[in-house]
Amino acid sequence: MHQGSGILSTRQRRLAWLGFMLAALQAPVSAWLVDDESWLFSLCVALMVATVIIADDAARRRPADATSD
């Protein structure tokens, strides 16, 4: 049984992880430095990137010959 290919290439997956880590680390730092709630934007971006990474991971775990019904 072969593993399916994901929606991201290896390079895109690495960049997604880097973007997730940067956004996730930037959110608490900006919450500490800024008095308004603009840090929530960084948190939302990190969550969206995490969703794409999870979807790519699920596509990679699906067998290559499986159909998407």
In a domain, 52, yes or no: yes
In a domain, 67, yes or no: no
CB 6 within 8 A of CB 62: no
Query: Residue 66 domain-assigned?
Result: no
Tokens for 25, please give them: 């680390």
Low-confidence ranges of the chain (pLDDT < 50): 1
Q: Is residue 68 part of a domain?
A: no
Q: Structural domain of residue 24, as residue ranges? A: 10-61
> What would the DSSP string read from start to end of 5-62?
P-SS-HHHHHHHHHHHHHHHHHHHHHHHH-SSSTHHHHHHHHHHHHHHHHHHHHHHHS
Query: pTM score, two decimals?
Result: 0.78
Residue 58 confidence (pLDDT): 92
Per-residue pLDDT, 18:
97
Q: Answer yes or no: is 4 within a domain.
A: no
pLDDT confidence of residue 63: 79
Query: In total, how many domains does the chain have?
Result: 1
Residue 1's pLDDT is what? 45
Assess if residue 29 is contained within a domain: yes
Is 28 within a domain? yes
